[in-house]
Amino acid sequence: MVSWILKAVLGSKNQRELRRIRPIVEKINKLDQEFESWSDEQFREKTAQWKAELSKIDDPAALARRLNEILPEAFAAVKNVARRLCGKTWLVCDQPITWNMVHFDVQSIGGIALHEGKIAEMATGEGKTLVATCPLYLNALTGRGVHLITVNDYLARRDAEWMGEIFKALGVTVGCIQHDQDPSVRKAQYDCDITYGTNSEFGFDYLRDNGMATTKDQQVQRGHYYA
């Protein structure tokens, strides 16, 4: 009875989380409007500035706090760049695709949850692929390497090429692991700020690095900071 009353008054845990996140989303939207006056180069300069700052923070707790502080600005930058890309066309898996997506509030909420290490359940059509761009960019600023894990090589390549234009516009590099790549190519993909790939490829590369590789030069991965 008491728990029912508390839930009725305070709301469910999910509702409380949404109330906590809402002000952050409002700040993201406000910053997005302010960024309308920015040049494309200013976004890349801001990325370089953040990277330089975060590279000097060694303490994990301090780094996490700083990422949370810059989250609204970083998410707003991704959203604004996505809007600037609308109407532009590029090749995705050898097919021309015209960009027409901008982050809605629900996608910003999902991105915040993913950054915080939570599970974000989203229905079909709610833009899960786009949701990941915000936390990927934010955590890529650390320079420690970020991984996007999907289920097959096609989706890894598709999403790296599809979402990659956002990251390139912001000044971060994007790589993609494919099954038939040789070690030197794989290492180059892992050296990017953001790397797309499958769970099996990431897993087997880890096993090879920690079992078969006899020298550091033979290892292809460079750490596992955020996925």
What single string gives the DSSP state of each residue in the chain?
Answer: -HHHHHHHHH--HHHHHHHHHHHHHHHHHHHHHHGGG--HHHHHHHHHHHHHHHTT---HHHHHHHHHHHHHHHHHHHHHHHHHHTT-EEEETTEEEE------HHHHHHHHHHHTT------TTS-HHHHTHHHHHHHHTTSS-EEEEESSHHHHHHHHHHHHHHHHHHT--EEE--TT--HHHHHHHHTSSEEEEEHHHHHHHHHIIIII--SGGG-------B-
The more confident residue out of 119 and 45 is 45
Quick check: 153 and 198 in contact, CB under 8 A?
yes
Residue 8, pLDDT > 70, answer no
Residues 113 and 120 sit within 8 Å (Cβ to Cβ): yes
Domain assignment of residue 227, yes or no: no
Summarize pLDDT for 16-39 with one digit per residue, the tens.
999 999 999 999 999 999 999 999
Asked whether residue 135 carries a pLDDT value surpassing 50, the answer given is: yes
Could you tell me the CATH number of the domain that includes residue 95? 3.40.50.300
- Backbone torsions φ then ψ of 99, nearest 5 degrees: -70, 135
Residue 48 lies in a domain: yes
With respect to residue 224, please indicate whether it lies within any of the assigned structural domains. Answer: no
What's the whole-number mean pLDDT along residues 126-153?
96
- pLDDT tens column, 48-57: 999 999 999 9
Whether residue 114 is contained in a domain is answered as yes
Considering the domain boundaries, does residue 191 fall inside one? yes
Stronger pLDDT, 95 or 1, i.e. the higher one: 95
Mean pLDDT of 118-142: 92
What are the beta bridge partners of residue 91?
Answer: 96
Q: Are residues 143 and 51 in contact, defined by beta-carbon separation less than 8 angstroms?
A: yes
Residue 13 confidence (pLDDT)? 81
pTM, rounded to two decimals:
0.92
Q: Is residue 98 part of a domain?
A: yes
* Domain-embedded: residue 4: no
CA distance 132 to 174: 14
State residue 212's pLDDT score: 86
Measured in degrees and rounded to the nearest 5, phi and psi for residue 58 equal -95, -30
Nearest 10 degrees: Cα torsion 195, 91, 81, 140: 10
Q: Does the structure show a pLDDT above 90 at 2?
A: no
* Percent of the chain with pLDDT strictly greater than 90: 84
Predicted confidence (pLDDT) at residue 178 exceeds the cutoff of 90: yes
| Whether residue 117 has pLDDT greater than 70 | yes
Type of residue numbered 129? T
Is 111 within 8 Å of 131 (Cβ atoms)? Answer: yes
- CA torsion 62→63→68→71, rounded to 10°? 150
Q: At residue 9, does pLDDT exceed 80? A: no
Number of domains in the chain: 1
pLDDT attached to residue 6: 37
Q: Kindly report the average pLDDT of the chain as a whole number.
A: 93
* Residue 145, phi then psi, degrees to nearest 5: 90, 130
**Domain extent for 48:** 13-218
Largest CA distance in the chain: 62
- Asked whether residue 81 carries a pLDDT value surpassing 70, the answer given is yes
- What is the pLDDT averaged over residues 73-84? 99
Whether residue 163 lies inside any domain: the answer is yes
Residue 4 pLDDT > 70, yes or no?
no
Is the separation of the CB atoms in 130 and 108 below 8 Å?
no
Residue 120 confidence class, pLDDT cut points 50, 70, 90: confident
